[in-house]
Each structure stands twice: as structure tokens, then as C-alpha cells.
Structure 1
Amino acid sequence: MTAVREPIRTFDDALAALPAGFPADADAAARHYRRLARLLHPDTAPPGRTDQATAAFARLSAAWQARSADLPVLTSPHHSYVLGPAIATGDLAELRTAHHRRAGEHREAVLKIPLRPRDNDLMSHEAAVLTRLGTVGEPRHRAYAPTLLESFRDRSADGTERVINVLAPLAGFHTLAQVAAAHPGGLDPRDAAWMWRRLLAALGWIHRACLVHGAVFPEHVLIHPELHGLVLLDWCYATATGTHLPVLVDRHRDSYPPEVHDRGPATAATDIHLAALCMRQLMGDQAPPPLRAFVRGCTLPRPGARPQDAWRLLAELDAVLDRLYGRRTFRPFTMPTAPAV
């Protein structure tokens, strides 16, 4: 089967592409399937074309089921996950798209697979932290962390065992690293403001659960431009308030505050320091003097001199923003559109 070369953007494009089959490459095949499934799903069909979409989606599902026999599969006690392309590779793990069948439909998921078996304990630790976070605070705050669907052990043919965390997919999100790359001259502080506010709210929720995230870096903070949503990723580094961080991210070693390097206890002030650095890097030279001063207050060397309460700090940030920009209003934000493939 050959890949479709023309861009697929609409329902009619997807219908036209459906007979062409899937590319030979496994990752390309999975991307092609996801694109068609999104456009052909009956729930998103154009008005009056639901029946046509239902038939096309069934045809696509049958073709994909046959194609999936050639793709790698990981099996948990509950599901068999057909692996798709990698989303990202971090210091500890690779994130891969996957799907499984449930109630006759293909369900999407993201599998977090450790790069080395020695990091299995950190994967199990992340699963325990996410499970705990799913039970604390108000339900609306739980959206600040990924949803853990399950965690299981997979044993490969050579006997190597890996702990794999299965997460609910997040559509339409971008990391702060991607936002910064799209704005090399620095992000307008009026846009950075809502991201900062969401980040402090997320930290307030985490700290009330007596946890420290410990790795608030740009690639671990996801934002949704249209919905002004935010999710914190990578909970392998989290720890109980007052204990030391279990592991450091080597490439960000210089960003950690002094108490981390001294093997002292991590507290809310540790996360606040890292979050403030994220926002300083994001705004660059665009940050006005009051916001630069605000960052300096959040990154003082002595943890006891830094803010200790993210909720209270959010109120202080609102006061600074109000003096700078007036009454808060919704400010639309968009990311550059990637070329169609």
C-alpha cells in the first residue's frame, strides 16, 4: 500500500484518501490512521453526512485492524495496545501513541515507556503520584495533571521487564519550550500572564497535596492555546514536601535552586523558583521591570526568603498585572500552524 501524498484536511479529503490504504512505514501508517479517524468519525461529520461517516469509519477501522497485525503490540492485564509513532523522548522515557479496542471502537492512549529498566522504580513512583493526585482537591484542579489509565509491567522476549504508564491523550497542547521557540524575541507578557497564572494554580493544588513537582521546566509544562488550559507532565521527579528530590534532570542542573544542590528538603519554594525561571525564559526581554522584579523575588537564593504559598503568590501576581495592564480580560492566543502532511 502507498502513502497518500496530498494534504488531508477535510471530510471529503479523508473519504478520497480512504481507498489508498496505509503507508508501509509503521509510524507513518499510524499517523495516517489517526488523521483519517479524526476526520471520518461520525461525531465530527458534516451536517447530513453522519451515515456516510459511519460507513467510512467502519471501513477504516476494519482496514486498520488488519494493518495493525504488522505493528508492535504491548499487552497489559486489561488491553492490547497497538503502538503508533513516538511523540517525544525525554531523559527517562519515550512517549508513544497507541490504540486499543473497547466496546467495538478504537480508543487512543499514550504509553510512557522507560528507556532503561533501571528507571522502572521512577515509573512506578509516577503512577503512585498520579493516582494520589486523582483523589485530592477539587475535580477541576485535577486537569492540571495527566490522567493515568493504568500502569503495568511488560516483559520482553529477552526477559527485560519494564513498567509502562498508560496516559489519556492530550489534544491541542504545546509545551512552553515550543511556545518559546515560536517566539524567539520573547512572548508578550500579556500572553504569558495567563500561562503563569495557570501554572501557579497548578502548583497551589500540588502543594496542598503535600507534594513538590520538582521538575517545572518548559518541556514539562503543556498549554492549550484556545482553551487557556495547562497540564504539568513528568511526575517521576515529584517528592513529598520536606524531602529531597529523588533525581535531577541533568540538562537543567543549573536551574535548580541552592537547596536542591545541597541535598536539602524540597518545598513549595523550590517549585516556585523553577516556575519563575520558566516564565522569565518565556518572556525574555519583553518582560517589564515590575515582572522582572517579581521573578527576582521568586528566585532568591535562600528558600525561606522566597514565597511559600503558590495560591497567595497568584493573588500577588494578579495585583502586579492589574497595575500594568488594567482589568483582566480574555486574550486569544494562537500557535503557528504546522504544515500539512
Structure 2
Amino acid sequence: MGKEKFTYVGREVSISTDFDNGALARVEEEKTNIFDLWPYEDEEYRDGYIYLRSVTGTGWDLANFCFHFRLEGCKGKEIEFRFHIKEREKEGDVSIVYANPDFPVYSYDGNHWMRMENKSLSQESLIEGGQTISVRQTYTKETAYIAYQYPYSNSHLESFVQRALKSPFCRVETAGESTEGRPIKQISITDYDVPIKEKKVVWFIGLQHPAELGAGWGLEGIIDYLLSGSSVAKKARENFIFNVIPIVNVDSVAEGRGRIHSSGRNLNREWERPDPVLEIRTIKRRLDEWKAEGNPIDIFIDFHGFSSRDGRWHLALLPEDAYTGKQKTEYSRLVENIKERIPTAASSLHEHRWMGLSMVNRRRENTGSLNILRTRQDNM
């Protein structure tokens, strides 16, 4: 259930979602350059949550709040946007979206983003039981992009890939195609002069949930570092091969969906299904082919992008008893190394319901501590 691409022509400016990652449900111009915006249609708000019907018919799947649109003809104009929202949880009358300092952001080129500081919150809304977040901004160029947070799109990844390919340590291939025929990019980084048999193998994937933007930016930062001239990066390339799939849910990223796949299914819940969607089948086949060629998989990390409100990072691992022999020893060493190298790491393992193999989350820039979570393999 996606949002249709459209262009709204206003009195002086136009608003469009007709580009990669563009998304917005509806626009109305109340007065010249004063716009009411709906990130989701009214009927998608249910019981205080933004929900979309699951294709499996088992219930409703939470859709993360997101939008991204292009503004044309805005140079020299002060424009007000009134976002009508209804959140799944609030702290009293405080909107969590409003309290986020990175909501919203704008850019003149789609790459360099700035915060929109002039914003206000009203308890009145055109959505029953909702709130309105108003932002005002005067623009200095004819075209601007406005987004919920710093977007990570397929087109941005393609530009990054072209830059990364200038390094002799980087190779890029297509792991497969998405449900709608888009390529799923795989980036491999290593020192190719050192035989693979002598290396540990790490797999990273990200953006199963498109609105969890930190996963894309985090993986890009990791790739940048691994390709750098740092002595640590050089040693990593000599001793490891890193296979990275930055965007798994490429269709939903293109269409600006918040969390779910174009089929309405949650990719992060597809791994144990007998009939997973094509994207998950593709990655599982890729991993099977890799192992069939005699290559190991020493670490597999699935990056997500949300965290607790107090700024903690989360690294979720399978329970210790899931490992045996050498793997169990290496698991214990990994946990101790994390605690030793990150002073704010939790002093003990915490049991958690998540089934994902590994997850790293961050809430605010330059803040955060680490919790190591031992997952239970029960049903979600």
C-alpha cells in the first residue's frame, strides 16, 4: 500500500513526489504559500497508530512516519507547511515527532541537508485526535527538497557506488532484482591481493525498513572508512572481506514507504517463512551460493535505525547457547571486546524478544551508550 506519485500546482509554487523516494499522501493550499500536508491518508490512522493492513491477514503492521517532496519556484518566498499527524504514542501533550530536532529537514541539492528550526505545535488538526506541526522557511533557491529526516535513496546509493568504485578495494555487483525489477546492489570490500581463504567474512545488510534511515547512512560511513587510507582500514582489508547490501527493500525506498514491502509484508519477519518475498529469497540464495563455494560467513549483521529515547545503541545477538565450540568462544570474546572498547557499554547481557541476528541503533548525533541484548528465539 504505497503513496501515489503526484505533482500539486499551487498559486505560486508546486509540490511534487515524482522522484526516487518521493512520498506524501495529500496537499491542500489554504492560502497563498500556506499548505496543509498529510503524510498518510486519514483512514490509515487507527487507534492512535499509523497502520497498514498486513497481506498475511494476521493484523496491522505499523508504518513508520515519513515523507519526502520537492518544492519548485520557492526562491525568496516564505512558505508555511502544516503537517497533520496522529502519533502512536505521546508524552503528555508533547509530540515525539515535533520534539525530534531533525524534523523536518530541507536541502537544495538532495545531498546536503539542514534543519528547519522555525516550527510550532498545535493540538488542533484536520485529523480527528491529531496534532499539527507547522514550519516556516524562506528559501534562497528555486528548488528545495523537504523530508522527515535525512533521506537515504536508491539514487543516492548509486552516486555513492560510483565514487566507491574508484577504489581498487571495492567491487560492486547485482545480488538480484527486487519484486518490481530494481537491482539490489552488493558492495564487496577487501584487499584482493590476499586470498579469501585466509580471511574472515562479514556480511552487512540494511534498510529492510526504509524509514530507518540511520542504517543506510551508517553502512555508507562504514564503507567509506573501510576504503580509507587508515592503517586500521588497511589491516581490516587484509584480514576480512566485507559484503554489504545497503538497501534490501529497494522498491519501498523508491516509493517512499515507511516500513513495509510493496506487498504489504514486513521483510524483517520473512526470513523464517516458507515463502518469503523475492528480496529475502535473493539474499538467502546469495548466502547459500557463497557457502557452497566453500567460503565461510563469520559475522552477519542486519542494520536498523531506531533506538530507545535515552540515546542508547543496541547490538542484539543470538543467545549464547546458540553457539558451540569455536563460535561460542569467539562470541564471548566479541562481547568482552565491545565492553572493553566502549566505556558506556552495558555491564551485562539483557534478554530481549527480538529475533534478528544483530542490530545497531542510534538516536542522536554524538550521544549514546551501548546495550548488548541477548535475544530469545520465541515468536514475535
> Which range, TM-score by smaller chain?
under 0.3
- In proportion to residue count, which structure has more helix? 1
* Structure with greater strand percent: 2
Compute the TM-score of the two structures, normalised by the length of structure 2. Answer: 0.24
TM-score of the superposed pair, with normalisation by structure 1: 0.26
